[in-house]
């Protein structure tokens, strides 16, 4: 049986979801491809294949019943249940510098309700669409919050 490259990627994601304690679970590509809804707050456009400096925060969103993404007519809510912070360098390496799942820490971050569809590229150049914003001021504020939490 012949397995195509795309299928290999899907198999790897399934294995990592099954065995999340592996080193890959700290990979920005892995986290960006998780099926859970997320909001990206980035200093610059997220083109991981271009090897440029960028700070990226990933807010993992827990959706309430009836929220359907847009929270029509104000029903439902968006609750961030985890926040990751990554610094990407000109070398192409992205390292995780922040990981919070305690609600007391997450409450210090403002959720960007102005987030829109954002086209990104993963490290291998694969295009991907998520919800997010590119805003260096928000990233600076998030960085300040991280510094105050430590």
User: Cβ(49)–Cβ(124) under 8 Å?
Assistant: yes
- What predicted TM-score, i.e. pTM, was given to this entire model? 0.77
Other C-beta atoms closer than 10 Å to the C-beta of 129 total 9
User: Cβ(141)–Cβ(50) under 8 Å?
Assistant: no
Give dist(CA 54, CA 48) in Å, integer: 9
Confidence at residue 46, expressed as pLDDT on a 0 to 100 scale? 97
Cα-Cα-Cα-Cα dihedral sign, residues 72, 77, 78, 81? negative
Confidence at residue 14, expressed as pLDDT on a 0 to 100 scale? 54
Structure-token pair, residue 58: 């990933």
Give dist(CA 28, CA 86) in Å, integer: 7
Confidence at residue 63, expressed as pLDDT on a 0 to 100 scale? 67
pLDDT along the chain (150 residues), means of 10: 59 51 73 94 96 96 62 60 96 95 95 91 95 96 93
Bridge partners (DSSP) of residue 143 are none
């Amino acid at each position: 049986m012949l397995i195509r490259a795309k299928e290999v990627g899907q198999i790897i994601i399934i294995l990592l979801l099954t065995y999340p304690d592996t080193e890959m679970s700290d990979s920005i590509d892995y986290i960006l491809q998780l099926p859970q809804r997320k909001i990206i707050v980035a200093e610059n456009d997220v083109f991981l294949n271009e090897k440029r400096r960028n700070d990226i925060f990933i807010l993992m969103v827990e959706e309430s019943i009836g929220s359907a993404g847009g929270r029509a007519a104000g029903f439902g809510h968006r609750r961030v249940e985890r926040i990751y912070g990554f610094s990407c360098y000109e070398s192409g390496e992205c390292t995780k510098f922040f990981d919070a799942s305690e609600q007391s820490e997450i409450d210090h971050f403002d959720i960007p309700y102005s987030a829109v569809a954002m086209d990104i590229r993963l490290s291998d150049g694969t295009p991907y669409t998520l919800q997010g914003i590119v805003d260096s001021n928000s990233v600076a504020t998030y960085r300040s919050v991280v510094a105050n939490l430590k």
